[in-house]
């Protein structure tokens, strides 16, 4: 039997906001399958899905748990999957033959505070780039001054909070990273200590993403994603595989932090 204490490294706020409501689709969806899913959703619920319908964490932040229940009652694509296939969520709705719901004036992320958006951005950055952000990652000016223009360019490629915003709400970037349950990168930490931090962070990301049904399925999803050449799909499939591998390792009492020096 699995030792439930294995999840103690997750902070309560992280568990409440993410793990309780995030459910990763069991498989990747093609563009045609996403359009079929939109049509199936309309047939079942009478209107096209919204972004909160297919991103449970966003629904939770808005206090709409009933949307989470609907999403988990079937197998639906995720918001990120739709955006990667079609560019925008509304474009997928249009191509499925429906008119997207008009946005309300000043709607945005209803019910989600700036602190919540920062925490969510830290998780997504870590998932995308393999490690939590550094100060230079979220301060383009600092990155350019230290000769790391590639960090500034990477920051501009997404919608990320600026370092001063994080400091205003959490005091420091490291405190924000720790608030979400991850371990920040520290200069001078190498070898077993660095390996332990990476293992810890991977467990956190795996808990958010959810595990694929079994090891064989996870391996096949990685192979399928690699054949498509979609780097985002490949990253998601590898994260699911890591989740399964870590679960199996926990079952036999293996721990990254227990590796002898």
Boundaries of domain holding 240: 190-261
More confident residue, 193 or 184: 184
Q: What is the mean pLDDT of residues 194-209?
A: 71
Domain boundary among 139, 156, 185: 185
Are 19 and 94 members of one domain?
Answer: yes
Q: What is the mean pLDDT of residues 219-240?
A: 74
Confidence of residue 150 (pLDDT cuts 50, 70, 90): very high
Number of domains in the chain: 3
Predicted confidence at residue 221, as pLDDT, reads 75
Domain boundary among 74, 95, 112: 112
Report pLDDT digits (tens) over 3-54.
Answer: 333 334 344 444 444 444 444 444 578 999 999 999 999 999 888 998 888 8
Residue 1 domain-assigned?
no
Confidence of residue 62 (pLDDT cuts 50, 70, 90): low
Are 28 and 104 members of one domain?
Answer: yes
Whether the per-residue pLDDT at 136 is higher than 90: the answer is: yes
Are 75 and 118 members of one domain?
Answer: no
Instruction: Pinpoint the alpha helices (H) of the chain.
Output: 12-14, 31-45, 56-61, 65-72, 79-86, 89-95, 114-129, 140-145, 149-156, 163-170, 173-179, 191-209, 215-228, 231-251
Predicted confidence at residue 73, as pLDDT, reads 85
Whether the per-residue pLDDT at 155 is higher than 50: the answer is: yes
Predicted confidence at residue 249, as pLDDT, reads 64
Residue 195 domain-assigned?
yes
The mean of the pLDDT values for the chain is 75
Q: What is the mean pLDDT of residues 182-204?
A: 75
Domain boundary among 167, 185, 203: 185
Residues whose CB falls within 8 Å of the CB of residue 61, separated by 6 or more in sequence, listed in order: 17, 109, 111, 112, 116
Report pLDDT digits (tens) over 84-135.
Answer: 888 888 999 999 999 887 654 333 444 457 888 888 888 888 877 878 999 9
Are 92 and 120 members of one domain?
Answer: no
Whether 70 contacts 53, CB under 8 Å: yes
Are 216 and 167 members of one domain?
Answer: no
d(CA 160, CA 3): 36
Report pLDDT digits (tens) over 204-227.
Answer: 776 665 544 567 777 877 787 787
| Residue reference for tokens 């077993």 | 192
């Amino acid at each position: 039997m699995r030792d439930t204490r294995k999840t103690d490294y997750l902070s309560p706020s992280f568990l409440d906001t993410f793990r309780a409501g995030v459910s990763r689709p069991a498989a990747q969806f093609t563009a045609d399958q996403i359009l079929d899913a939109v049509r199936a959703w309309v047939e079942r619920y009478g209107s096209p899905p919204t972004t909160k319908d297919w991103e449970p964490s966003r629904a939770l932040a808005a206090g709409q748990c009933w949307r989470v229940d609907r999403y988990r009652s079937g197998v639906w694509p995720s918001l990120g999957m739709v955006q990667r296939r079609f560019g925008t969520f509304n474009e997928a709705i249009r191509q499925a033959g429906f008119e997207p719901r008009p946005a309300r004036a000043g709607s945005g992320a209803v019910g989600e505070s700036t602190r919540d958006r920062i925490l969510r951005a830290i998780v997504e950055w870590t998932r995308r780039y393999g490690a939590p952000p550094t100060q230079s990652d979220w301060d383009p000016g600092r990155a350019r001054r230290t000769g790391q223009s590639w960090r500034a360019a990477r920051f501009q490629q997404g919608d990320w909070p600026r370092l001063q915003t994080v400091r205003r709400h959490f005091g420091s970037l490291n405190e924000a990273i720790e608030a979400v349950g991850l371990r920040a990168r520290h200069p001078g930490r190498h070898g077993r200590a660095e390996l332990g931090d990476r293992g810890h962070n991977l467990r956190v990301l795996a808990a958010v993403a959810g595990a694929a049904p079994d090891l064989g399925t996870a391996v096949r999803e990685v192979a399928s994603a690699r054949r498509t050449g979609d780097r985002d799909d490949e990253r998601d499939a590898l994260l699911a595989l890591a989740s399964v591998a870590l679960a199996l390792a926990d079952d036999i009492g293996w721990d990254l932090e227990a590796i002898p020096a």
